[in-house]
Amino acid sequence: MDEKEKVNKEKEANIPNNRLGLDRQFERDFKEAYGRLVTMHREKNEIDDEIRVLETIVWILENIVFAGQEDRLEELERYKERLGEAKGLKNREKNKEAKP
Protein backbone atom coordinates (compact mmCIF):
# COMPACT_ATOMS: atom_id res chain seq x y z
CA MET A 1 0.00 0.00 0.00
CA ASP A 2 1.55 3.32 -1.03
CA GLU A 3 1.34 6.61 0.90
CA LYS A 4 -1.58 7.93 -1.14
CA GLU A 5 -3.65 4.82 -0.39
CA LYS A 6 -2.88 5.14 3.31
CA VAL A 7 -4.02 8.76 3.34
CA ASN A 8 -7.25 7.84 1.53
CA LYS A 9 -7.97 5.06 4.04
CA GLU A 10 -7.45 7.50 6.91
CA LYS A 11 -9.88 9.95 5.30
CA GLU A 12 -12.44 7.18 4.72
CA ALA A 13 -12.17 6.06 8.34
CA ASN A 14 -12.99 9.62 9.39
CA ILE A 15 -11.13 9.21 12.66
CA PRO A 16 -11.15 12.50 14.55
CA ASN A 17 -7.80 13.73 15.83
CA ASN A 18 -5.92 10.98 13.97
CA ARG A 19 -2.93 13.28 13.65
CA LEU A 20 -2.97 13.91 17.37
CA GLY A 21 -2.95 10.17 17.99
CA LEU A 22 0.03 9.72 15.67
CA ASP A 23 1.83 12.60 17.38
CA ARG A 24 1.30 10.99 20.78
CA GLN A 25 2.50 7.60 19.52
CA PHE A 26 5.63 9.19 18.06
CA GLU A 27 6.28 11.07 21.30
CA ARG A 28 5.91 7.92 23.42
CA ASP A 29 8.04 5.74 21.15
CA PHE A 30 10.64 8.48 20.76
CA LYS A 31 11.05 9.00 24.50
CA GLU A 32 11.25 5.28 25.22
CA ALA A 33 13.88 4.62 22.56
CA TYR A 34 16.07 7.61 23.31
CA GLY A 35 15.65 7.24 27.06
CA ARG A 36 16.87 3.66 26.90
CA LEU A 37 19.77 4.67 24.65
CA VAL A 38 20.89 7.32 27.16
CA THR A 39 20.79 4.75 29.96
CA MET A 40 22.81 2.24 27.93
CA HIS A 41 25.53 4.81 27.21
CA ARG A 42 25.70 5.77 30.90
CA GLU A 43 25.97 2.14 32.00
CA LYS A 44 28.90 1.62 29.61
CA ASN A 45 30.50 4.92 30.66
CA GLU A 46 30.21 6.25 27.09
CA ILE A 47 29.79 9.84 28.21
CA ASP A 48 30.38 11.48 24.82
CA ASP A 49 27.65 9.33 23.27
CA GLU A 50 25.32 10.02 26.19
CA ILE A 51 25.84 13.77 25.72
CA ARG A 52 25.24 13.48 21.96
CA VAL A 53 21.94 11.64 22.50
CA LEU A 54 20.80 14.02 25.24
CA GLU A 55 21.55 17.06 23.07
CA THR A 56 19.47 15.47 20.31
CA ILE A 57 16.59 14.77 22.70
CA VAL A 58 16.60 18.33 24.03
CA TRP A 59 16.63 19.78 20.51
CA ILE A 60 13.77 17.57 19.37
CA LEU A 61 11.70 18.30 22.47
CA GLU A 62 12.27 22.05 22.17
CA ASN A 63 11.68 22.30 18.44
CA ILE A 64 9.26 19.54 17.49
CA VAL A 65 7.48 17.60 20.20
CA PHE A 66 6.82 20.25 22.85
CA ALA A 67 6.67 23.38 20.71
CA GLY A 68 3.82 25.41 22.18
CA GLN A 69 3.13 22.96 25.01
CA GLU A 70 4.27 24.85 28.10
CA ASP A 71 2.69 22.25 30.37
CA ARG A 72 5.37 19.77 29.24
CA LEU A 73 8.38 21.92 30.21
CA GLU A 74 9.05 19.86 33.35
CA GLU A 75 10.02 16.85 31.25
CA LEU A 76 12.25 18.99 29.02
CA GLU A 77 13.96 20.39 32.13
CA ARG A 78 14.69 16.86 33.38
CA TYR A 79 16.52 16.05 30.14
CA LYS A 80 18.42 19.35 30.31
CA GLU A 81 19.41 18.59 33.89
CA ARG A 82 20.64 15.13 32.92
CA LEU A 83 22.61 16.69 30.05
CA GLY A 84 24.25 19.06 32.53
CA GLU A 85 25.14 16.13 34.78
CA ALA A 86 26.69 14.22 31.88
CA LYS A 87 28.74 17.26 30.84
CA GLY A 88 29.89 17.68 34.44
CA LEU A 89 30.94 14.03 34.54
CA LYS A 90 32.91 14.48 31.33
CA ASN A 91 34.69 17.54 32.76
CA ARG A 92 35.60 15.65 35.95
CA GLU A 93 37.04 12.83 33.88
CA LYS A 94 38.97 15.29 31.72
CA ASN A 95 40.40 16.99 34.82
CA LYS A 96 41.39 13.61 36.28
CA GLU A 97 43.31 12.75 33.12
CA ALA A 98 45.06 16.14 33.06
CA LYS A 99 46.50 15.73 36.58
CA PRO A 100 49.94 14.08 36.66
Task: For residue range 20-70, list pLDDT tens digits in order.
Answer: 565 666 667 777 788 888 888 899 999 999 999 999 888 888 887 666 677
Distances in whole angstroms, Cα of residue 45 to Cα of each of 31, 32, 91? 21, 20, 13
Q: What predicted TM-score, i.e. pTM, was given to this entire model?
A: 0.66
The H-assigned helical ranges of the chain are 3-13, 18-43, 47-60, 73-98
Question: If you ran DSSP here, which 8-state letter would residue 61 be given?
Answer: I
Per-residue confidence (pLDDT) for residue 67, from 0 to 100: 65
pLDDT of 11 above 70 = no
